[in-house]
Amino acid sequence: KRWNMLLSFIWKIVFISANVLIILFGVTIATLGWEAKEYDNFFTDAFLPIVSRICSTIFVFGLALVIIGFIGLFNVWVHVPLLFSIYKIPLLGAAAVVIFIMGVLSFVAVEIVQVSERRSMVAMMTGEKERSGMDDIEFFNDCCGVRGKMDLYELNQPGPHPRIGYPETCCSFKDYDASVDFRREHIGASFRYVCLRECNADFAYKRRCDQFYIHPFQGLLMYLANVLMLLAIYLAVVSSISTLFIPITTF
């Protein structure tokens, strides 16, 4: 009898901690899904509906986990055998859904994020899109252009946002003399510095931006996938224990 009481106490602690973690994971996932919507400006218009649906699905799934966690905590304090039996179904189902979403996220990270990111980079290289985003990527990551598309920098790009030759951000500013190699230009109430030293293929960075640059949304998805992996394993273990080894009377 004393052993049963000890087992009941230990299981109650484990069950409470499990459901608290489920709630915390749910809040984290819902928050990530909501915050991910802020990155929609990084994607081409064709991908925006897909990205929006993915973010909404992640948000709803996070809320579902929060509800499941609260149901589990309720079962600890209120002895309802039927509710506990029903609870084990969504818990197992949540683990299965988590594993499925992990596969979806892998597809999203590889296909949607990378494809859209590369298209945006190429569009900025051709002058179809305003290239301030590409300037930031090249300048802060010491990279230049996109694999297989470097000929775009060899040609003058008229487009809505014209460009002539390699952009200054493709070349290192090391050993440049600010007083000689840069000119300050006024643009309305603000100003910018323009590099006077020509950047070309010989001086440009050799690594391409699409080979290593991690898109913020892609990084978010990778982090979320890791969270889901841990949650899936944890839910599966707790579900198996509660279903196979722990009788409802232990509460």
Rg over CA atoms, the chain: 27
Domain that holds residue 9: 2-124+215-250
The Cβ-side half-sphere exposure at 98, using a 13 Å CA radius, reads 26
Helix axes 2-35, 216-244, angle to 10 degrees: 160
Do 40 and 94 share a domain, yes or no? yes
pLDDT at position 198:
74
Clarify whether residues 169 and 219 are in a common domain: no
Residues 200 and 230 in one domain: no
The answer on 135 and 63 residing in a single domain is: no
Name the pTM for this structure: 0.55
Residue 227 and residue 155 share a domain: no
State whether 110 and 11 are in the same domain: yes
d(CA 88, CA 213): 42
What b/e sequence results for 83-109 when a residue is b if at least 16 CB atoms lie within 10 Å of its CB, and e otherwise?
Answer: ebeebbebbbebbebbbebbeebeebb
Are residues 194 and 107 part of one domain? no
Distance CA 29, CA 22 (A): 10
- For residue 249, the model assigns a pLDDT of 46
pLDDT at residue 103, as a whole number: 65
**Residue at 39: amino acid letter:** Y
What are the pLDDT tens digits along the chain (251 aa)?
677 777 777 777 877 887 888 888 888 878 877 877 666 555 555 556 766 777 787 788 888 888 888 888 887 777 677 777 667 666 666 766 776 776 676 667 666 777 777 888 888 887 777 777 788 888 878 888 888 888 888 776 555 555 567 887 888 766 666 566 667 777 676 666 666 777 778 778 888 888 766 666 666 777 777 777 777 777 777 777 766 655 544 45
The total domain count for the chain is 2
* pLDDT at position 115: 76
pLDDT at position 107: 64
Q: Within this chain, do residues 144 and 72 fall inside the same structural domain, yes or no?
A: no
Do 61 and 162 reside in the same domain of the chain? Answer: no
Helix axes 114-126, 132-141, angle to 10 degrees: 110
| pLDDT of res. 43 | 56
The confidence score (pLDDT) of residue 245 equals 54
136 and 115 share one domain? no
Six-digit token string for 95: 């683990």
Asked if residue 141 and residue 101 are part of one domain, the reply reads no
Structure tokens at 77: 């304090």
